[in-house]
């Protein structure tokens, strides 16, 4: 079964390095999301896999064959573009049939394939329309239909849902996931939307400044971020990343000076290897429980801003040293602005990052 693999792939535009030593392997039937902020090199990576950009260094291997020097038309791939890239002079049916044109199929065979795909993507009613006469959702489905009409080695999606409104995005996410599951091909999806990545991907590769920071299942990248960037990028609201001084480690507990307060918290044994130093403590907003009084394992803060989010309420709390801590509590937990809070972080959801920003874990 065809796989996609990139080994030490680098792309330079003049003096600017867009992608640096990227390694990634996508198995057949696997969906990998390239996730990162704008300009992190995720689309460039995708375009190098597609052959639309030449890699400056490294190898692009599709279905076991090194593809660096092959143009896109000889890589046997299908791609869905961010802006759909529909053929403006062709109608919907002709758009879907375009990739088949080069396969030398008979008219009847080609028509049958187009009909089948049109049925899957609910486009049978608009086959005769021009691309500018169909809705945004239909354009999106047409772009996917055109990609799946052939039987390529692999699928590439560049921000496939970014142009849809929230509701449509939600339903398309489900539809695309369903279609991809049925096809079991190696698939790479580029997105800047973590929810899209978390819901659609078997694994997520998080990129920043041209470097793949972490590759893991949605669960792994959320529960075990390898560094401060991944920790801050995955999860809404963002993880609290509080600078602290590590004082000592003993009996499975780390003693730190956090926001001007001493805090004793159970930590990974690996933390014992750190010398007393500046560290960053990461705590998810949902990982706090409220204590009645000040204790050795609580952080004191004052509720400053309260944002109801429906099922939950987001509280911005300020510590004595002026730091901001985001806390998510259930809706029924009433908190007033100005109220003093004693927050007890859950040690299992607390992460320690060394001075270099890397997670300290066994």
Smallest gap from Cβ 73 to another protein, in A, equals 5
Which helix (DSSP H) or strand (DSSP E) does residue 274 occupy? Answer: none
**Residue among 103 and 307 whose Cβ is closer to another protein:** 103
Q: What is the DSSP string of 16-31?
A: EEEEEEEEEEE-TT-E
> What is the distance between the alpha carbons of residues 101 and 344, in angstroms, rounded to a whole number?
63
**Residue among 99 and 357 whose Cβ is closer to another protein:** 99
Smallest gap from Cβ 166 to another protein, in A, equals 18
Query: How many C-beta atoms lie closer than 10 Å to residue 174's C-beta?
Result: 12
Smallest gap from Cβ 144 to another protein, in A, equals 12
**Residue among 131 and 354 whose Cβ is closer to another protein:** 131
Which helix (DSSP H) or strand (DSSP E) does residue 309 occupy? Answer: none
Smallest gap from Cβ 228 to another protein, in A, equals 35
**Residue among 89 and 311 whose Cβ is closer to another protein:** 89
Residue 62 vs residues 5, 74, 256, 286: alpha-carbon distances, Å: 6, 11, 49, 41
> Is the distance from CB of 228 to CB of 241 less than 8 angstroms?
yes
Question: Binding residues for another protein, per CB under 8 A?
Answer: 50-52, 71-73, 75, 77-79, 81-89, 98-99, 101-103, 130-132, 139, 146, 150, 163
Smallest gap from Cβ 162 to another protein, in A, equals 12
**Residue among 86 and 221 whose Cβ is closer to another protein:** 86
Three-point CA angle 237, 242, 244, nearest 5°: 165
Q: What is the dihedral of CA 231, 233, 239, 242, to 10 degrees?
A: 70
**Residue among 78 and 176 whose Cβ is closer to another protein:** 78
289 three-state secondary structure: strand
Smallest gap from Cβ 328 to another protein, in A, equals 37
């Amino acid at each position: 079964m065809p796989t996609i693999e990139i080994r030490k792939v680098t792309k330079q535009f003049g003096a600017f390095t867009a992608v640096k030593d990227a390694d990634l392997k996508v198995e057949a039937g696997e969906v990998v999301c390239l996730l990162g902020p704008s300009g992190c090199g995720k689309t460039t990576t995708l375009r190098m896999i597609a052959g639309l950009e030449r890699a400056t260094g490294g190898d692009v291997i599709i279905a076991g064959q090194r593809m660096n020097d092959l143009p896109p038309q000889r890589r046997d791939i299908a791609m869905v573009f961010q802006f759909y890239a529909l053929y403006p002079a062709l109608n919907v049916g002709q758009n879907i049939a375009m990739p088949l044109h080069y396969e030398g199929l008979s008219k009847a065979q080609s028509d049958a394939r187009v009909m089948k795909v049109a049925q899957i993507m609910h486009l049978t009613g608009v086959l005769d329309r021009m691309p500018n006469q169909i809705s945004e959702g239909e354009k999106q489905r047409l772009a996917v239909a055109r990609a799946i009409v052939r039987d390529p080695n692999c699928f590439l999606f560049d921000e496939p849902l970014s142009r849809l409104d929230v509701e449509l995005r939600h339903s398309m996410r489900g539809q695309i996931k369903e279609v991809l599951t049925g096809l079991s091909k190696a698939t790479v999806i580029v997105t800047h939307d973590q929810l899209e990545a978390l819901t659609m991907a078997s694994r997520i590769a998080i990129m920043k400044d041209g470097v793949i920071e972490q590759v893991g299942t949605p669960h792994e990248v959320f529960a075990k971020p390898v560094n401060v960037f991944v920790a801050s990028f995955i999860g809404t609201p963002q993880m609290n990343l509080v600078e602290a001084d590590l004082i000592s480690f003993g009996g499975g507990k780390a003693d730190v000076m956090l926001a001007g307060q001493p805090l004793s918290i159970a930590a990974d044994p690996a933390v014992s290897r750190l010398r007393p130093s500046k560290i960053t403590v990461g705590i998810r907003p949902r990982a706090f429980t409220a204590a009645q009084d000040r204790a050795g394992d609580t952080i004191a803060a004052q509720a400053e801003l309260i944002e109801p989010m429906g099922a939950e309420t987001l509280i911005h709390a300020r510590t004595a040293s002026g730091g901001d801590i985001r806390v998510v509590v259930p809706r029924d937990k009433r908190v007033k602005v100005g109220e003093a809070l004693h927050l007890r972080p859950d040690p299992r959801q607390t992460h320690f990052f060394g001075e270099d920003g890397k997670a300290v874990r066994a």
